[in-house]
Amino acid sequence: MAIITILGAGAMGSGLCTPVRNAGWEVRLWGTWLDDHLIDACEAGKSHPRTKVPLAEGVKLYRCADLDKALEGADVVVMSVASAGVPKITEMALQGISKAKALWLTSKGFCPDEKGKIQLLPEAIRTIAKQKGVEIPPIVAIAGPVKANECAEGKPTATIFGCKDIEVSRKYAREARTEVYCIEATDDETGVEICAPMKNVYAIALGIADGLEEGTGFPHHNLKAATFNQAIKEMSLLGQALGAKPETAYGLPGVGDLEVTGLSGRNKVYGVRIGKGETAKEALAEMERLEQTVEGVPAAGLAMTFVDQSVSHIKDQLPLLKAVNRILAGTDVPVVKIISEAVLPKMP
């Protein structure tokens, strides 16, 4: 029986336990120093506090101090922590990762190095390993329209595994598949990793459109549709500029993931607050009070810097990314005007 160790006991880490356990793997779930209360609940047989679903039967739980034990003999390691924690957890788990056959990555975001250079997460992990003189296995980027609670409950789910080596993607797509957790394989790691954080940024804009309806009493579905269209276009353009396949953004990582994130989730809820009339600062403060992390907020600024550093020639083709950053920075201009100017077609 193959062994998989999932690093991070949050919603996505715990949700992933269900399909891989049902696929016949031995599953170990390791919690960081921030996850003790989550491990407590699962050990007590309660539903996971984030997904509201009991952990899959047979999953072995490990606390922060037991990292080496959790990694011992693992065939696959999964990085499933918030993007800001990826560098630290990578360093902590590096020896165990190096002995595995693959590193799966469900974390989503951008990663600045010590010099301020923004990297996609797979490249950041490879850089850390190289600096430490450690060779790591192939990385499999995992993205797509996966709500953690539905995945944990065993509801029908489509996802995508992206690795530079297509045969590695296919291998794990076959081995982790169940009747309801169905996996597409691709060699477009870059395209998958661009869509993963960018959909969180653009989900804020979709939420703003929904918030405008709540705030005014009149729907803004037309604006939301135009925003969705522009978001997918920008994800594809950004990916292509970095060597990704244009169609990746029009598949599960882009269209699929933005659809589900725009329907629910913290980034959408944050956008709704802004659309209803709260300032970006007020809305974020309330989300933080509720212990709801809005990953699209830091991702928006990092994405803009990433564009400036790596593909500045397409900056003017990303008006929605600019608009979201403008709103997050604080402005007296109505948000409906800012979004509209970014997504509605210009005079031909």
Q: Is 143 helix (H, G, I), strand (E, B) or coil?
A: strand
Backbone angles phi, psi at 8, to 5 degrees: 120, 115
Amino acid of residue 97: I
Q: Is 2 helix (H, G, I), strand (E, B) or coil?
A: coil
Rounded Cα–Cα distance for residues 197 and 235 (Å) = 10
Rounded Cα–Cα distance for residues 133 and 129 (Å) = 6
The reply to whether 268 belongs to the active site is no
* Residue of 108, 199, 268, 322 marked catalytic: 199
Is residue 158 within 8 A of residue 182, CB to CB? The reply is yes
Is residue 84 within 8 A of residue 110, CB to CB? The reply is no
Is residue 112 within 8 A of residue 302, CB to CB? The reply is yes
For residue 315, the 8-state DSSP code is G
205-209-210-213 Cα dihedral, nearest 10 degrees: 160
Backbone angles phi, psi at 340, to 5 degrees: -60, -45
For residue 316, the 8-state DSSP code is G
Instruction: Count CB neighbours of 17 within 10 A.
Output: 28
CA angle, 238 then 244 then 249, to 5°: 65
171's tokens: 């291998």
Rounded Cα–Cα distance for residues 270 and 242 (Å) = 29
**Catalytic positions:** 199
